[in-house]
């Protein structure tokens, strides 16, 4: 069941006034960066061609970084670059040139774990802020104080940090705290996994994780498999993190940056999750005393959920129920169908760039960052020249459909699976 299941009493911290926290979103490529920013991110984190932990993402060239920085600036947003590998000797060659190039591209900060990358950035690219990566597994205020004294303005806490831990850190150290509040969790401590190294010779801590915990395994007793051929195999991946229900507690305990995981995730995932947290953060600061969680936010989160959701380590220690041992269906299985390119108010026809197959007679819904949200059935469809179509079958094909309400460029269209 793709819902937040825990009912542990919430953290009862002292209420105090804070500046509005940063909403930090993942961006696996330039298009995702633009959608993340357009849908409400205050900052995005990306990967370059080197030194990051997502070597399989569509990582950015320096030219793409410059374009991304310019786009983000138009929205008042920032761009960070993950340089969070643990470097081996051969990785250090070219590091100075790479960091200078990031500074030249207008990157606001790097996210780093290895001391050699941290020290080198401080020395050769002083305009780059250095944020300590979650890969350093920072859990206590003394460690945070150490990194502050090393000149770092922000620490990304380990995913294993609780509300109580954060409160203690903020009590003792005046520093920016960034915490993951949504997305995939690692079954190993703060991502320090070597399964990938052993199974595929791909180093998780140098960007090569093969997601071993998500594989399907058989279990054996006395060399006999426990599962029949037709049965689903065993997995051992963690459920995903979702803290939308505990947004006030995150704000009041002093988290300065709310980080969403997912540089490998889709545009639909990034835009949907960012849009929900943007609305929730803004609603809280409009009226903190009367803030209420909206059910529609939970429903939207579930439409983009890849796995069942939980609250990680914030409330208590995760147990067996917080891992996925067999396949589970999504609670609200939606599929990303297209992106609005243009809209003609005279004809009520929208131009849509197709991202997944859809057809006449199918129910779809539109969603956007400026209040767009409605459902309708596709009644008319043509290609860009006006020829009638029954279905949009071709990837990135531009088609035109009549919409019940006005839509805007970069609004998304999605379809509910299993429905006509």
Tell me the per-residue pLDDT of 288-344, one tens digit each, with 9 for 90 and over.
Answer: 999 999 999 999 999 988 788 889 889 988 887 777 777 665 555 788 999 999 999
The predicted pLDDT at position 10 comes to 39
Tell me the per-residue pLDDT of 91-105, one tens digit each, with 9 for 90 and over.
Answer: 899 999 999 999 999
d(CA 248, CA 131): 24
Tell me the per-residue pLDDT of 143-162, one tens digit each, with 9 for 90 and over.
Answer: 999 999 999 999 999 999 99
Q: Where are the domains of the chain?
A: 22-191+237-324, 334-416
CA distances 363 to 144, 342, 417, Å, are 51, 20, 9
Low-confidence ranges of the chain (pLDDT < 50): 1-17, 419-420
pTM of structure: 0.89
The percentage of the chain sitting over the pLDDT mark of 90, rounded to a whole number, equals 67
The class of domain 334-416 in CATH terms is mainly beta
Q: Are 392 and 354 in contact (CB under 8 A)?
A: yes
Q: Any idea which residue has 């320096």 for tokens?
A: 62
Choose which CATH entry (3.20.20.70, 3.50.50.60, 3.90.550.10, 3.40.47.10) describes domain 22-191+237-324.
3.20.20.70
CA distances 403 to 1, 224, 346, 418, 420, Å, are 33, 57, 12, 21, 17
């Amino acid at each position: 069941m793709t819902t937040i299941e825990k009912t542990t009493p919430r953290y009862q911290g002292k209420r105090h006034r804070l500046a509005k926290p940063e909403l930090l979103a993942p961006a696996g490529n330039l298009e995702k960066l633009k959608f993340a920013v357009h849908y409400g991110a205050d900052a995005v984190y990306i990967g370059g061609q080197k030194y990051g932990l997502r070597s399989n993402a569509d990582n950015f060239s320096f030219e793409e970084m410059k374009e991304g920085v310019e786009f983000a600036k138009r929205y008042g947003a920032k761009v960070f670059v993950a340089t969070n590998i643990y470097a081996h000797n051969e990785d250090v060659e070219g590091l100075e040139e790479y960091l200078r190039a990031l500074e030249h591209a207008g990157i606001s900060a790097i996210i780093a774990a290895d001391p050699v990358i941290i020290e080198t950035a401080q020395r050769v690219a002083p305009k780059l802020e250095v944020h300590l990566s979650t890969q350093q597994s920072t859990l206590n205020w003394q460690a945070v104080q150490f990194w502050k004294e090393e000149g770092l303005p922000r620490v990304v806490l380990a995913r294993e940090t609780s509300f109580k831990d954060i409160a203690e850190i903020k009590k003792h150290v005046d520093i920016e705290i960034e915490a993951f509040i949504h997305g995939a969790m690692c079954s190993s401590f703060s991502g320090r996994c070597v399964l990938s190294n052993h199974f595929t010779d791909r180093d998780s801590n140098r960007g090569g994780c093969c997601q071993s915990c998500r594989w399907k395994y058989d279990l054996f007793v006395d060399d006999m498999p426990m599962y029949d051929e037709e049965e689903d195999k065993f997995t051992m991946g963690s459920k995903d993190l979702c803290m939308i229900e505990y947004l006030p507690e995150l704000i009041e305990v002093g988290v300065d940056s709310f980080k969403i995981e997912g540089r490998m995730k889709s545009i639909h995932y990034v835009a949907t999750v960012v849009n929900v947290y943007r609305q929730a953060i803004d609603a809280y600061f409009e009226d903190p005393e009367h803030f209420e969680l909206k059910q529609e936010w939970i429903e939207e989160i579930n439409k983009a959920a890849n796995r069942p959701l939980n609250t990680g380590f914030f409330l208590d220690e995760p147990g067996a129920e917080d891992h996925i041992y067999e396949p589970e269906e999504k609670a609200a299985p939606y599929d990303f169908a297209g992106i609005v390119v243009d809209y003609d108010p005279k004809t009520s026809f929208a131009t849509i760039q197709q991202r997944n197959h859809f057809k006449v007679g199918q129910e779809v819904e539109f969603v956007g960052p400026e209040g767009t949200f409605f459902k309708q059935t596709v009644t008319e469809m043509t290609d860009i020249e006006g020829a009638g179509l029954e279905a949009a079958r071709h990837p990135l094909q531009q088609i035109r459909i009549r919409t019940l309400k006005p839509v805007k460029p970069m609004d998304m269209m999605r379809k509910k699976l299993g429905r006509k």
